[in-house]
Each structure stands twice: as C-alpha cells, then as structure tokens.
Homo-oligomer: A and B are copies of this chain.
Amino acid sequence: MTAQNELAVIRGHQELYERTWHLFQAAKTEISCAANDLYTWVHLRADTADRPPVPQDTPPGFMIRKLYRPGVLLDPVGTRHVRLAFQHGAQVRITPDEINETIIIDRRVVIMAGGVAHGPRSFSVVWAPDVVTAVASLFDAAWRAATELDVYDRELTELRVLAPRILELLGSGCKDETAARTLSLSVRTYRRRVAELMSALGATSRFQAGVRARELGLV
C-alpha cells in the first residue's frame, strides 16, 4: 500500500518550492541531480525564479553531482552556470542519453519531474526506500557512463559561437541552402554544424532537435 508519507504528487513550481525546500536545507551528505535544462529546478526558490540559482560553496564531506544533457553547454547562460557550479565544488557530468529530471537527496528522498504537456508541470516526491534505492542505482549507472564536463566543454568551444545563429535560421524554417549563404558557409560545412548541434542536443531528427532546442530556451 502507498502510505501518505511515502509519495506526494505536486503540481507547479510554487508548490514544489513550498513543500520541498526544507529537504534541500536538511541535506547532510549528498545531492544528486539530473536535468535536461537549467530551468526545471530553478524555480524552486520564488525569489530566484528569474535567474539561475547561485551555487554555494560545497562544505567538506558533502557531495553534489549534476548530470546534464550536452545541450546546456550550447547556451552561454547555461555554460556559465555549469562552470560556476563546478568551481564551487559540484561534480558535473554530461550524458548524451535521455534522462528524466530527477533529484536525489541523501539517498533518502527523490524528486522526479513529470511531463510538461497540458498544464503546469507535476513533480513526484518519493520517500519509499525501495524506490529511492532503485532510482539512486540507476542514477549511479548513468553517472558512470557520463563524461566529465571539461571534455565536452572543450569540444563545444567553436560550435557555441555559431549555435545561436544556426538555431535561429533553423527556427525560421529556411533551408540549408539559404542558411549557409547567410552564414557565409558552404552547405557542406553548415550541415556539419547542424549535425554537431543535433548530436549535442541528443536528437536524431530535426523535428526532435527543434523540440529540444525550444526546451532549452535556445530559440
């Protein structure tokens, strides 16, 4: 049976903040976090709703792990934020796989974000030990398979300067021919960039890339 204190479903960021903020403050040993973009968990604090949160220095004996999609590194804001977190002691890794947005606190409670379609986003907070353990082990597996931040960061250095313009052109619906001319690139090179972009977004079709780009607020 489902005890009331083992699972709670929350709708909207406001309520999420009100009901889970104390969990973050009470964290003693570890916060692990998987996110597709920067903005899912940002609204946790109402007073920082409009900006990415400012990371605190990590106290000794405390571990923060952040697992992101490569896409966040396409966004200058995202890049800055991730680097900042890294400098403040958080471990940051990048995975090309699909990851559901998840937070694990002290291996005792997990928060998982639901879909965003049709209405406000929902979140499930789970205390049930079996679930927490299983989710944590899945997270660990994904974490091991992921690559360190700096590797990806170096790879994307050049792409990052072109990405905004490419995304804008793609988003405007114009075709490769036109876009390449606009950027003074050959069609070949333009498509190379698009391919890199799609790989960074973890997309296998342009439609999917469009969705992901919009999710990340890049268009």
Which residues of A are at the interface with B, using a C-beta cutoff of 8 A? Answer: 11-12, 49-51, 75-77, 116-120, 170-175, 203-215, 217-219
Contacts and interface: CB of A to CB of B under 8 A. Distances in A.
Given A50-B119, A120-B50, A211 B208 contact: no
B117 A217 contact: yes
**Closest 8 pairs between A and B when the two form their complex, measured CB to CB:** A210-B210, A214-B214, A173-B204, A173-B208, A206-B207, A207-B210, A210-B211, A170-B207
Contacts of A211: 171, 210-211, 213-214, 219
Contacts of A209: 207, 210
Q: For the complex formed by this chain, how many copies does it contain in all?
A: 2
9 contacts: A11-B50, A49-B120, A77-B119, A118-B217, A207-B213, A209-B210, A210-B210, A210-B213, A214-B215
A214 to B, nearest CB: 4
Contacts of A76: 118
Contacts of A170: 205, 207-208
